[in-house]
Amino acid sequence: MSSFLKVANQLSGTAFTLFCAGQASVDAEGTLVHSGDMAAQLAQAVDNLEAVLGETGMSLSNIVRLTTFTTDVELLLQHFGVLGPRTGALGVAPPSALVGVARQAYPELMVEIEATAVQ
């Protein structure tokens, strides 16, 4: 079944939908971590996304849409393997977009992830 059909099936009927705003490489206090390290920033952003999903009883397997914003598309693509195994292990490949941006909220921030999840 294509990713599109999986998402369409998941969205039919009554469902709880979480629109998760951008998750970035920040700690619990909102302080930027891993300045200058794309792989570590991506991993931290995914950790933070997973934590938000967990607060609602969901996991990465509930994601039906994923958008990644980065200040360096080429560098992010070199490290995108940080995300793939985490969603792939759950058997999900949500429709995704990768968007290059001039800068993020913090100048040192290189990547931010937003997601839509359905339960």
User: What does the block give as tokens for 109?
Assistant: 């921030």
The sign of the torsion formed by the CA atoms of 102, 108, 109, 111 equals positive
Please provide the CATH number assigned to the domain covering 21-118: 3.30.1330.40
Per DSSP, the three-state class of 41 is helix
pLDDT band, residue 113 (cuts 50/70/90): very high
Per DSSP, the three-state class of 37 is coil
pTM for this predicted structure: 0.85
**What integer is the mean pLDDT of 104-109?**
92
pLDDT by residue (tens digit) across 31-52?
999 999 999 999 999 999 999 9
pLDDT band, residue 4 (cuts 50/70/90): very low
Half-sphere exposure for 69 (CA within 13 Å, toward CB): 15
Reply yes or no on whether the pLDDT at 116 is more than 70. yes
Higher pLDDT, 52 or 14: 52
